[in-house]
Amino acid sequence: MKGKVWKFGDDVDTDIIIPGRYLVLRDEKELAACVMEGCDPDFSKKVSEGDIIVAGKNFGCGSSREHAPIAIKGAGVAAVVAESFARIFYRNSINIGLPLIEAKDVSKHVSEGDIIEIDVDGGVLKDLDTEEEFEIKPLPEFMLGIMNEGGLINYLKNHIGDIKG
Amino acid sequence: MGMTMAEKILAKASDKNFVKAGDIVMANIDVAMTHDLTGPLSVESFEKIGVDNVWDPEKIVVIFDHQVPADSLDAVNNHMIMRKFVEEQNINNFYDVREGVCHQVLPEKGHVVPGEVIVGTDSHTCTHGALGAFSTGIGSTDMAMVFATGKLWFKIPETIKFDITGKLQENVFAKDVVLNIIGKVGADGATYKACEFGGETTSAMTISDRMVMCNMAIEMGGKTGLVEPDQKTINYLGGRTTKNYEIMKTDKDAESLETIHIDINQLEPQIACPHNVDNVKPVSEVEGTHIDQIFLGSCTNGRISDLRTAAKIMKGKDVAKGVRMLVIPASREVYTKALDEGLLRTFVDAGALVCNPCCGPCLGGHVGLVGPGEVSLSTSNRNFKGRQGSPEAEVYLSSAAVAAASAVTGRITDPR
């Protein structure tokens, strides 16, 4: 996966990602039109398919609203890279198949507009503009299973018999 | 080796004798709660799985609180989706627009008991740990899995035990204690951890106070808040629930346990300043800040004790000129008590608006929004940029006492 970087800071909360007044919406494209409106009202117009969000610590803190990762995914963002993620956002993203990449100190070194390349299997993120490389924290095996099957709904379709027992 | 409360509850729910932090378990869910705003996405996801019926309609609770009464066609459409789901799936535990905020209604109606696992599609589901349940917020797709299977996977969390000692000064409350803690540990200081509140101060707290503490656990990243059940818990549950329950407590030799000591003897009222809940300052540092709107309510501080505290301060006084105040009791039970005790009369006489039980401005999408450049003082739990309307507005968080004292002066005021 390779894409252009959009930078955000620490503690990007779910009200920044998708403000409460839009939670009546459910359609991915409608939600995407308001994504990140809390800090950049024009973000949805600027972002292109395949771009990558890079942020600091505690990305996605706050609400359990799944509208947040849906809006990001709907805007065409290929992955969110951050130093750490808030836990509900983390689960929600994996469940809907939005790749999350955890890498130490990444937001301190990568700049907006840089092109980064992410090799999930190799566990490396590379900034192609600076040649700098970052180690990726691997996804827990159980979550990797969900991600590889395209999210929790597909996972359930395949395994519901085993889960119900 | 011992276990924490969180470990014991999750071990029991996953039919194991022993679990430790870091283990991944598939737990049986005792209560699955959803509301009008995140419910429709949960239903949509559930329908995609291809299962006809939910696993157990008696364990599902649906509560309308975020947009009640409906303020738009989108909102009423969401309500209709949920009413249809409730009817099709034979869900009896359904509280339509009249009952109040989910985290107040769920315990009031006896759905919360110690030792159970509760999930809700709302991040403040962690409130219910105040009664000794493992209770946590989840997303809509996780809820779809629960609807279909009655199970959800969990990584067993480590526990931070806040050992709180000291006696609160007059007009200093649980809200001030928990804001102080969040300011100390930070917005991600307890990420993925169970936040257990203990010590003599917690023991002395009412159940409402303990709900305030646990409600705010998510604001430091916690997976759940927890308080060890005691006689107060048992008294609260009496007459509210018919469920059997088991009280579990943290063992002293539990391994995944970090203890943080907090002394609150000298604590003054605390204020969370814009735009993060961990940006906490003592009231003396922000006293005098101009306010445009006051919101007294929410799942944090919309209970009868909060309304009593505020009414006592505001009795016979007026809301300051140019300031608007919204009072929103957290539930119908709270509303009727406040009505009987004359508290609502006090607020209306003072010039406040009293609204029907709902989430109000806390959601920033229903009633009482704040505009660009305006300042809100709120007893709710989040002050994120744009939380109560305009991203150019500022939101300060406080106890009900600070809110009431400030309503009268029009500036942030120490209630002592």
Contact across the interface for A92 and B142, Cβ inside 8 Å: yes
Contact of B330 with B365, CB cutoff 8 Å: no
Q: Is residue A88 part of a domain?
A: yes
- What's the pLDDT score for residue B28? 98
Claim to verify: residue B122 and residue B231 sit in the same structural domain: yes
| Residues linked to residue B159 through DSSP beta bridges, in sequence order | B194, B257
Claim to verify: residue B107 and residue B217 sit in the same structural domain: yes
Residue A115's CB is within 10 A of a number of other CB atoms, namely 14
Residue A15 structural domain: 2-137
Distance from CA of B72 to the nearest CA of A (A): 9
> What ipTM is given for this predicted complex?
0.95
- Give pairs for B43-47: CB < 8 Å, separation 24+: B43/B81, B43/B82, B43/B85, B43/B144, B44/A26, B44/B140, B45/A153, B45/B140, B45/B141, B45/B143, B45/B144, B46/B143, B46/B144, B46/B147, B46/B148
- What's the pLDDT score for residue B256? 81
Burial tier of B179 (Cβ tally within 10 Å: 0-12, 13-18, 19+): buried
What are the b/e assignments for B378-408, b being 16+ CB within 10 Å?
bbbbbbbbbbbbbbebbbbbbbbbbbbbbbb
Q: Is residue A28 part of a domain?
A: yes
Residues of chain B neighbouring A57 (CB-CB closer than 8 A): 188
Residues of chain A neighbouring B364 (CB-CB closer than 8 A): 15, 19-21
> Going residue by residue through chain B (416 aa), what tens digit of pLDDT does each one get?
899 999 999 999 999 999 999 999 999 999 999 999 999 999 999 999 999 999 999 999 999 999 999 999 999 999 999 999 999 999 999 999 999 999 999 999 999 999 999 999 999 999 999 999 999 999 999 999 999 999 999 999 999 999 999 999 999 999 999 999 999 999 999 999 999 999 999 999 999 999 999 999 999 999 999 999 999 999 999 989 999 999 999 999 998 889 999 999 999 999 999 999 999 999 999 999 999 999 999 999 999 999 999 999 999 999 999 999 999 999 999 999 999 999 999 999 999 999 999 999 998 888 999 999 999 999 999 999 999 999 999 999 999 999 999 999 999 999 99
Contact across the interface for A86 and B72, Cβ inside 8 Å: no
Q: Is residue B19 part of a domain?
A: yes
Q: Quote the number of domains for chain A.
A: 1
Residues of chain B neighbouring A26 (CB-CB closer than 8 A): 40-41, 44
Euclidean distance between CA atoms A91 and A146, whole angstroms: 10
Q: Is residue A162 part of a domain?
A: no
Q: Is residue A150 part of a domain?
A: no
Q: Is residue B325 part of a domain?
A: yes
Which residue matches tokens 């005790």? Answer: B341
Q: Is residue B36 part of a domain?
A: yes
Claim to verify: residue B70 and residue B198 sit in the same structural domain: yes
Cβ-nearest to B49 among A14, A21, A153? A153
Q: Is residue B415 part of a domain?
A: no
DSSP-derived pairing of the beta strands A124-127 and A115-119: antiparallel
Contact across the interface for B187 and A58, Cβ inside 8 Å: yes
When pLDDT is cut at 50, 70 and 90, the band that residue A64 belongs to is: very high
Euclidean distance between CA atoms B289 and B338, whole angstroms: 29
Claim to verify: residue B155 and residue B23 sit in the same structural domain: yes
Quick check: A66 pLDDT over 90? Answer: yes
Residue B322's CB is within 10 A of a number of other CB atoms, namely 9
Claim to verify: residue B322 and residue B380 sit in the same structural domain: yes
Claim to verify: residue B293 and residue B327 sit in the same structural domain: yes
Claim to verify: residue B225 and residue B278 sit in the same structural domain: no
Q: What is the CATH number of the domain that holds A14?
A: 3.20.19.10
Q: What is the CATH number of the domain that holds B325?
A: 3.30.499.10
Cβ-nearest to A91 among B75, B125, B139? B139
Q: Is residue B414 part of a domain?
A: no
Residue B363 structural domain: 272-409
Euclidean distance between CA atoms A44 and A48, whole angstroms: 8
> Average per-residue pLDDT in chain A?
94
- What's the pLDDT score for residue B257? 83
Claim to verify: residue B305 and residue B398 sit in the same structural domain: yes
- Whether B45 contacts chain A with CB within 8 A: yes
Q: Is residue B352 part of a domain?
A: yes
Q: Is residue A60 part of a domain?
A: yes
Quick check: A38 pLDDT over 90? Answer: no
Claim to verify: residue B239 and residue B294 sit in the same structural domain: no
Q: Is residue B40 part of a domain?
A: yes
Quick check: A165 pLDDT over 90? Answer: no
Q: Is residue A108 part of a domain?
A: yes
Contact across the interface for B188 and A160, Cβ inside 8 Å: no
Claim to verify: residue B237 and residue B283 sit in the same structural domain: no
DSSP state letter for A59: B
DSSP-derived pairing of the beta strands B24-28 and A115-119: unpaired
Q: What is the dihedral of CA B101, B104, B106, B111, to 10 degrees?
A: -170
CA distances from B392 to A40, A146, B276, B286 (A): 12, 39, 14, 19
- Domain end among B238, B262, B286: B262
Claim to verify: residue B287 and residue B243 sit in the same structural domain: no
Cβ-nearest to A88 among B24, B138, B364? B138
Interface of A with B (CB under 8 A): 11, 13-16, 19-26, 37-39, 57-58, 61-67, 84, 86-88, 91-92, 95-96, 140, 142, 151-153, 156-157, 160, 163-164
Burial tier of A161 (Cβ tally within 10 Å: 0-12, 13-18, 19+): exposed
Render pLDDT for A110-150 as a digit per residue (tens, 0 to 9).
999 999 999 998 999 999 999 999 999 988 888 889 999 99
Q: Quote the number of domains for chain B.
A: 2
Distance from CA of B198 to the nearest CA of A (A): 24
**DSSP-assigned letters across all residues of B319-376:** PPTT-EEEEE-SBHHHHHHHHHTTHHHHHHHHT-EE--SS-GGGSSSSS--B-TT-EE
DSSP state letter for B269: P
DSSP-derived pairing of the beta strands A100-103 and A133-137: antiparallel
- Domain end among B262, B294, B323: B262
Claim to verify: residue B61 and residue B134 sit in the same structural domain: yes
Q: How long a stretch of residues is chain B?
A: 416
Closest residue, chain A, to B137 (C-alpha): A64
Interface size, chain A vs chain B, as Cβ–Cβ contacts under 8 Å? 144
Q: Is residue A17 part of a domain?
A: yes
